Structure 1
Amino acid sequence: MALPVAPLAAYAFLLLWSAVPFAPAEPVLLTGGAFAGSGGLILPFAILAAAAGSLVSDLAKYALGRSAGPRLLARIARHPAGARAVRWIEGRLVASGPMVIAPSYFVPFGVVTATILCGALRMRLRIVAVASAVGALIWSTVFLGLGYLGAAVTGNPWFGAALAVPAALVIGLLAKRKVVRDDAAACTCEPAPAQHEEPCPLAA
């Protein structure tokens, strides 16, 4: 099946969509990878376009973190998954520094939290950019690769993208389980809170 737009426009769309902060880009990547699998796009070019856009998005969130980090993190923490992501990122930021951004790409709310927190803590931009570039390349390779494999199996880009969706969901669920498990372990190991503090919700 032919690509519905010119390849250059498709690469530009991958780049621009991935550059939009807070926009869910995984469905776009799965579809782009599926069209690469059917011959409409060149997979390495698609990966580079998506990774470049995601890097721009990360740097924008880093800048937001520098100007309004605590307020943004408080809004993220209103969601249960967001609160877990904030605790998970904070727990690894001391040991890993900005490199926590790379694995956070696969955690719900993870890369948003990590880049905003790096900005709020005024971490060095160069190190944040390197960590974001590594994470963006891995993330774009995984999701575009899933779409590519789906199209290679089905011979149709739309069927290939649909086939890749369950695999992408499994990755998300595994990442979420890892965060929940780590968060529960951290809450269990923490000393009992004082009476004026709220207990960790996962420790119950």
Structure 2
Amino acid sequence: MEVLGQVAEIVGDRLGSPWLWVIVFGVSGLDALLPFMPSETTVLVVAVLLGHDPARLALLALVAALGAWAGDCLGYSIGRSAGPRVIARLQRGPSGRQRYEWARTRIEQHAVLLIIAARYVPGGRVASALATGSLRYPLRRFVPLDAAGAALWAVYSVLIGYAGGATFADEPEKGLLLSFGIGLALVAGIEFGRRLRPRTPRQGKMSDRASL
């Protein structure tokens, strides 16, 4: 609680600064390449501290969505330029390679669902952006699908933060704790459901792999 209180104080002192939006945009974008970047945490904290301020909450969702979309497009471009073999080598360690192969297989089977929903799976956003690019999934399809996914993620994160802030309007550290708990529970539920889902044989390669 003490740590959350300090975080709330630090961010709260910057709510009126334009640099806050630059940070939200940057962290949301870099999370597409560096999975340790706390994009969702940043959006949750800001949403909790903004409280009942519809205009700035809407701005927060817009900035976070634009940052996430820009980062995903950058990841797609890197994957498309590097190719599957280079990307597979870049995903160092068994877990990194497994995430990439998981994303690659899912793209060949369910590209639309993965582009929108992979960001809710730990490490899935990085693997999805790189895999769609390396497999040359059509850019004209990736861009609007990813924009929809980024928008849904941003609204979801802001709403969770708003729920915590509205519940504990005068105690932001408790609002942060509640929001983090809700977020972790939802992510854990998604991951649990993914692991329970029966594995299907790998289907043929995408019919629309051809480049633009």
Rate the CA distance shift 1:121–1:140 in 2: closer, same or farther, 3 A: same
Give the drift of 1:41.
6.7
Show the 5 A alignment for 1:39-58: 39=53, 42-58=56-72
Structure 1 portions without partners, runs of 5+: 191-204
| Identical columns (%) | 23
Give the drift of 1:53.
0.3
Residue in structure 1 matching 2:173, options 158, 167, 183: 158
Paired residue for 2:21? 11
State which drifts further: 116-125 or 38-47.
38-47
Paired residue for 1:186? 199
Paired residue for 2:187? 172
Structure 2 portions without partners, runs of 5+: 1-7, 203-212
Residue pair 2:104, 2:132 contacting (<8 A) in 1 also: no
Distance 2:83 2:13 in 1: 40
CA RMSD of superposed structures (Å):
2.6
Residue pair 1:147, 1:161 contacting (<8 A) in 2 also: yes
Residue pair 1:77, 1:86 contacting (<8 A) in 2 also: no
Distance 2:93 2:193 in 1: 20
Give the drift of 1:91.
3.6
Residue pair 1:84, 1:179 contacting (<8 A) in 2 also: no
Distance 1:40 1:4 in 2: 19
Paired residue for 1:196? none
Give the drift of 1:107.
0.9
Deviations 1:7-44 (A, max 9, x none): 53322221122121322311101101112225497111
* Aligned-partner SS, 1:186: coil
The letter of the residue matching 2:87 is L
Q: TM-score, normalised by structure 1?
A: 0.79
Paired residue for 1:119? 133
Q: TM-score, normalised by structure 2?
A: 0.76
Rate the CA distance shift 1:175–1:78 in 2: closer, same or farther, 3 A: farther
Distance 1:163 1:72 in 2: 37
